[in-house]
A and B are shown apart, each in its own frame.
Chain A
Amino acid sequence: MTGGADAYYGRPVIKPPVWKVPDVPLYLYLGGVAGASSTMALLADLTGRDRLACAGRLAAAVGATASVGALVHDLHRPLRFLNMLRVIKPTSPLSVGSWILAPFSGLAGAAAASQLTGLLPWAGRASATAAGVIAPAMTTYTAVLLADTAVPGWHEVYRELPFVFAGSAVSSAGAVGMLAAPQESAPARRMAVGGAVLELLAARRMDRNAGMVGEVYRQGRAGAVLRAARVLTGVGLGAALLAGRSRVARVAAGVCLNAAAAATRYGIFEGGRESARDPRYTVVPQRPA
């Protein structure tokens, strides 16, 4: 296609997503933090790190609840939210996701409530354990949610996207643990570092394998946001490595890695929208060579 000459007046071929900002990027980010925090809480509990377990449980509950809130707010008919649980459809990542998110947020909420009130400690612990086991699914199902669309920027990277989201979730949850439980933060720091490395490597791989549509993640607003996310991840990673000795580094790592995780989700969301608006990304890869 030379410019817009052959396309239909340069109009998009597919419909750009109607999902709203900040609702959906927030939903993606919060779900990731909540999931990884919950597994962190479970392991902290098993290894006798009470403060880290408490921080993880609270982060899981707050993140999951807010994530549900963002999802419901994004619906065009929010009062019918429960219709999400009307059927179980393996072909719909949002149906599968709802059936992960609903029990997870319920269990995480119960665990946090028990933690805060001291009531029914055995039930709280059982809930926290169950939530922590479901939790890893929380960190990656949203990648399938985006990839299972006709949006070229999302579909083309379906192999790498879950790893980007997983790394980002682990590093941001580790960062939460560093901020909230400084005395027991060694495992959280290792999560922050490992997650950040995974995120950077997966993002790099995604960039290399995306083909022509990869340029939406390098240009415009999405490009700027993702560059900022990479810088924040890098700074957060460096700060996390120094955080054993310095309080300032610990706080900087905590803040930077969470900002990076949120920015990564928003950048990928925005890049996908751009790839849907420009008909080239739909048409050119579909044309016979």
Chain B
Amino acid sequence: MARNRLSGPLADPAGEVGYPADHPERVGFFTDTSICIGCKACEVACKEWNLLPEDGLDFTGMSYDNTEDLSGTTWRHVAFVEQERPTVDLGMPAMGRDSDQVRWLMSSDVCKHCTHAACLDVCPTGALIRTEYGTVLVQDEVCNGCGYCVPACPYGVIDIRPDTGGAAKCTLCQERLGAGSMPACATACPTESIQYGPLDELRARAERRVSELHEQGVTSARLYGHDPDDGVGGAGAFFLLLDEPEVYGLPPDPVVTTRDLPSMWWHAAGAALTAAAMIAGSFLGRKR
């Protein structure tokens, strides 16, 4: 069962779940990390618009990142990677260790709004739904806080909110979309590192940008999450990265866990029948 409804490319996730043919285009984010300046305006705008509480002022000691990761109350997270690496020797006088310089990688992470979203698949209450925009949304008033979506997400995005007990993550500012506005983070981003729009358009723009960077000699530029043939059927929020995904805390090649669900149920059924046969077999023979 290599290609089923649980994995593989899917042109129209909203249509797949029954929205009428005139539903809006699938939208998403293209985060171009090559022009991120690490200002965290996206984090702040997200918190403000979505009325998310602060998470406490922790000093993590890891670069400039005191936000740490995405959580139930943090739906945008700017990763800061501080890399010391040799640079081109220009023969200029220098101080100290002139062979090493710091390279900064900054990237604003967010929910990927997967084409095949494990969180949505495993949710037992129907609290997680696919919206008319093809995004993935938690209906807080339905969620009973079972927490199944949390370990199901291959990107470690969704989490239980400590203050409400419900699962929470990026909504792609659903209510702003309805009003014809852009999500808060994309609106606030001063460098247009976070770009919002119809997914097809963003994918085309990202391809152009990556070739442009390659022409400029930035050979490490690569797209992440843009491919409809990948393990989650392509992400609704994808990225241009300048290093391996794991450097930014992203999984290199995630696969939606439910891809293997039919096989899991077959194995469970086989085991249940084995248990039944074993119990029945124990009652054969003389009575005592």
> A: which residues have CB within 8 A of B?
1, 6-9, 11-19, 35-36, 39-40, 43-44, 46-49, 74-78, 80-81, 83-84, 86-87, 89, 91-95, 97-98, 136-137, 139-141, 143-145, 147-151, 155, 158-159, 161-163, 165-167, 169-170, 173-174, 184, 186-188, 190-191, 194-195, 198, 276, 279, 282-283, 286-288
Q: B278 to A195, Cβ gap below 8 A?
A: yes
Q: A76 to B165, Cβ gap below 8 A?
A: yes
**Residue B108 interfacial (CB < 8 Å):** no
Most buried by B among A15, A166, A186: A15
Q: B244 to A6, Cβ gap below 8 A?
A: yes
Which A residues touch B153, using CB under 8 A? 14-15, 150
Stretch at the interface among B8-16, B51-59, B117-125: B117-125
* Closest chain A residue to B146, Cβ basis: A75
Q: A158 to B260, Cβ gap below 8 A?
A: yes
Contact of A158 among B63, B68, B253, B263 (CB under 8 A): B263
Q: A149 to B278, Cβ gap below 8 A?
A: no
Q: A76 to B142, Cβ gap below 8 A?
A: no
Which B residues touch A87, using CB under 8 A? 124-126
The distance from the CB of B224 to the nearest CB of chain A, in whole angstroms, is: 12
Q: B253 to A15, Cβ gap below 8 A?
A: no
Which B residues touch A137, using CB under 8 A? 268, 272
The distance from the CB of A8 to the nearest CB of chain B, in whole angstroms, is: 3
Interface size on B, as a range, is 35 or more
- Distance between Cα atoms of A115 and B62 in the complex (Å): 62
Q: B150 to A17, Cβ gap below 8 A?
A: yes
Name the 3 nearest CB pairs between A and B, nearest first.
A76-B145, A8-B249, A76-B165
**Residue B280 interfacial (CB < 8 Å):** yes
Q: A286 to B254, Cβ gap below 8 A?
A: yes
* Closest chain A residue to B154, Cβ basis: A150
Q: A150 to B151, Cβ gap below 8 A?
A: yes
- Distance between Cα atoms of A148 and B119 in the complex (Å): 10
Which A residues touch B282, using CB under 8 A? 40, 43, 174, 187-188, 190-191, 194
Which B residues touch A143, using CB under 8 A? 264, 267-268, 271
Which A residues touch B249, using CB under 8 A? 7-9, 11, 13, 279
Q: Which chain B residues numbered 207 to 237 have a C-beta less than 8 Å away from chain A?
A: none
Contact of A7 among B65, B246, B254, B265 (CB under 8 A): B246
Q: Which chain B residues numbered 113 to 139 have a C-beta less than 8 Å away from chain A?
A: 118, 121-127
Most buried by B among A35, A93, A137, A150: A150
Also in contact, A15 and B144, with CB within 8 A (given A94-B122, A158-B267, A190-B282): no
Q: What are 12 A-B contacts with C-beta separation under 8 Å?
A: A14-B156, A19-B147, A39-B275, A43-B283, A81-B144, A136-B273, A136-B275, A147-B260, A149-B122, A162-B267, A166-B274, A279-B249
The distance from the CB of A12 to the nearest CB of chain B, in whole angstroms, is: 6
Q: A8 to B148, Cβ gap below 8 A?
A: no
Contact of A44 among B79, B275, B283 (CB under 8 A): B283
The distance from the CB of B234 to the nearest CB of chain A, in whole angstroms, is: 17
Most buried by A among B246, B261, B270: B246
Also in contact, A92 and B264, with CB within 8 A (given A6-B244, A150-B254): no
* Closest chain A residue to B143, Cβ basis: A77
The distance from the CB of B269 to the nearest CB of chain A, in whole angstroms, is: 8
The distance from the CB of A272 to the nearest CB of chain B, in whole angstroms, is: 8
The distance from the CB of B165 to the nearest CB of chain A, in whole angstroms, is: 3
The distance from the CB of B33 to the nearest CB of chain A, in whole angstroms, is: 13
* Closest chain B residue to A98, Cβ basis: B124
Q: B126 to A86, Cβ gap below 8 A?
A: yes
Q: B81 to A8, Cβ gap below 8 A?
A: yes
Q: B121 to A75, Cβ gap below 8 A?
A: no
- Distance between Cα atoms of A283 and B248 in the complex (Å): 12
**Residue B192 interfacial (CB < 8 Å):** no
The distance from the CB of A146 to the nearest CB of chain B, in whole angstroms, is: 9
Which A residues touch B254, using CB under 8 A? 150, 286
* Closest chain B residue to A184, Cβ basis: B288
Which A residues touch B28, using CB under 8 A? none
Most buried by B among A8, A48, A184: A8
Q: A18 to B260, Cβ gap below 8 A?
A: no
